Amino acid sequence: MSHEPRLLEVRKNVLKQNDVIARGLRDRFRLQGTYVISLVSSPGSGKTTFLEKTLTLLRPHYRVAALVGDLATENDALRLARSGVPVRQITTGTLCHLEAAMVEHSLNDWNLGELDLLFIENVGNLVCPASYDLGEDLRLVLLSVTEGEDKPLKYPTIFNSADVAVITKTDLAAAVEFDDLTANANIQAVRPGMCVFKVSAKTGEGMDAFLQFLAQKHARSSQKTSV
Amino acid sequence: MHELSIAMSIVDMAQEEAERRNVRVEAVHLELGALSGVVKEALLFSFEIACDGTPLQGSRLVVKDVPIEVYCPVCNMPKILASMQWFCCPDCGAQTSEVIHGKELVITALELKQ
């Protein structure tokens, strides 16, 4: 008698449901001409401060809005709202990351056609958000100088899933003896060719270069849309 | 820790498939990529909890680890990364971020009860 296990072959992507919704979102964003940028990082890396500064600087030139994920509070949404752009909070409860369905749900009654740029701030977490496509065009991973240069090596999955790295709080770099070259080498090790920006949202240093980059990305994507 | 919600998805999908084909599941076979963002040990632990009270209770999760495979533009062929901290060809050292495999999170088979 054979004791070979009976195997029934199936092939099912466990995250299919999320991926399908994310694809739908991406199509919708493209159709409406909205360029979507998500932000991931560990808690306390300065995501909200960086985003508030970005929104404030973009607001005179673009129609901008933001979604922000947080476990329990609406503090981040209140801070971002000071920039004067529409902001909506996604409270995830105990969930440590955003999923495409949450983004879809919170966009339900928004007219995307009225937006040039939409930012999605993920929950502060360098592990779980890596697995979930949100339909974004560009994923930024933030790394503050106070966290140490080896963060990319400790969390290669999320750094590899991102398109651009932003080093924040550069005004504190000297005080914490942040080693720029090592940080950059570590980023390139886990994501060769990744574009890196160094900014201080506090002093404004480096923000110009980042905003120019975004403007180019947005212009390129709207060209594609209008063709 | 998002492994519990992933384990619950696995149980749901396996259960749905089992019902559709009218079979009983002994084990669920899964391919898990090193870049999937899912921790194997946490997933195995969560799977047991996710199975509780479902027809899959007592079933096993059989995980096949999928290493990161990249495309080396210099050697002009796929290569397995030696370390996920170093995205470069293990043979010629060329940097590459073109990932071919390693993001899998896929149910590949159901092992049936005899």
Say if B89 falls within a structural domain: no
pLDDT value at position A2?
57
pLDDT (mean) for B34-63: 96
Contact list, A130 vs chain B (CB under 8 Å):
37
| Rounded Cα gap, residues A4 and B96, in angstroms | 41
Give the residue carrying structure tokens 């994507």. A221
SS (H, E, C) chain A: CCCCCEEEEEEEECCHHHHHHHHHHHHHHHHHCCEEEEEECCCCCCHHHHHHHHHHHHCCCCCEEEEEEECCCCHHHHHHHCCCCCEEEEECCCCCCCCHHHHHHHCCCCCHHHCCEEEEECCCCCCHHHHCCCCCCEEEEEEEHHHCCCHHHHCHHHHHHCCEEEEECHHHCCCCCCCHHHHHHHHHHHCCCCEEEECCCCCCCCHHHHHHHHHHHHHHHHHHHHC
Q: Which of A8, A14, A153 sits opposite B9 (nearest CB)?
A: A14
Q: In which domain, by residue range, is B60 found?
A: 3-67+100-112
pLDDT at A1 over 80: no
pLDDT at A207 over 80: yes
A123 in contact with B at a CB cutoff of 8 Å?
Answer: no
Q: In which domain, by residue range, is A89 found?
A: 16-221
Contact list, B23 vs chain A (CB under 8 Å):
8
The string of pLDDT tens digits covering residues B1-40 is 789 999 999 999 999 999 999 999 999 999 999 999 999 9
Say if B43 falls within a structural domain: yes
pLDDT confidence bin for A73, thresholds 50/70/90: confident
Instruction: Report ipTM for this prediction.
Output: 0.90
Which is more confident, B14 or A222? B14
The string of pLDDT tens digits covering residues A82-130 is 999 999 999 888 788 999 999 999 998 888 889 999 999 999 899 889 9
Which amino acid belongs to residue A70? D
For residue B89, say whether it is annotated as part of any ligand binding site.
yes
Contact list, A8 vs chain B (CB under 8 Å):
17, 21, 23, 109-112
Residues 6+ apart with CB under 8 A from B58: B51
Q: Which residue of B has its CA nearest to A15?
A: B105
CATH number at residue A189: 3.40.50.300
| Count of domains forming chain B | 1
Q: Which residue of A has its CA nearest to B83?
A: A190
Q: Which of A96, A190, A192 sits opposite B2 (nearest CB)?
A: A96
| Count of domains forming chain A | 1
pLDDT value at position A222?
82
pLDDT confidence bin for A226, thresholds 50/70/90: low
Say if B94 falls within a structural domain: no
Contact between residue B111 and residue A12 where contact means Cβ atoms under 8 Å apart: no
Say if A172 falls within a structural domain: yes
CATH number at residue B11: 3.30.2320.50
Dihedral sign computed on CA atoms, order A167, B102, B14, A134: positive
Mean pLDDT of chain B: 95
Contact between residue B79 and residue B68 where contact means Cβ atoms under 8 Å apart: no
| Rounded Cα gap, residues A90 and B49, in angstroms | 28
| Rounded Cα gap, residues B23 and A9, in angstroms | 13
A156 in contact with B at a CB cutoff of 8 Å?
Answer: yes
Q: Do A189 and B2 touch (CB under 8 A)?
A: no
Chain B: give the shortest CA distance to residue A195, in Å: 13
pLDDT at A227 over 60: no
B97 in contact with A at a CB cutoff of 8 Å?
Answer: yes
Dihedral sign computed on CA atoms, order A212, A218, A220, A223: negative
The pair of structure tokens assigned to A54 is 């970005």
Say if A11 falls within a structural domain: no
pLDDT (mean) for B34-49: 96
Say if A10 falls within a structural domain: no
For residue B72, say whether it is annotated as part of any ligand binding site.
yes
Say if B90 falls within a structural domain: no
B36 in contact with A at a CB cutoff of 8 Å?
Answer: yes
| φ/ψ of residue B92, rounded to 5 | -105, -10
| Rounded Cα gap, residues B75 and B77, in angstroms | 6
- E strand or H helix that includes residue B21: helix B3-21
Residues 6+ apart with CB under 8 A from A14: B6, B9, B10, B13, B30, B105, B106, B107
pLDDT at A10 over 90: yes
Q: Do B38 and A13 touch (CB under 8 A)?
A: no
Alpha carbon A62 to its chain's center: 19
Contact between residue B12 and residue B107 where contact means Cβ atoms under 8 Å apart: no
| Rounded Cα gap, residues A83 and A55, in angstroms | 6
pLDDT confidence bin for A4, thresholds 50/70/90: confident
pLDDT value at position A152?
97
B110 in contact with A at a CB cutoff of 8 Å?
Answer: yes
For residue B2, say whether it is annotated as part of any ligand binding site.
yes
Q: Which of B99, B106, B112 sits opposite A14 (nearest CB)?
A: B106
Say if B48 falls within a structural domain: yes
Chain A: give the shortest CA distance to residue B3, in Å: 9
For residue B51, say whether it is annotated as part of any ligand binding site.
no
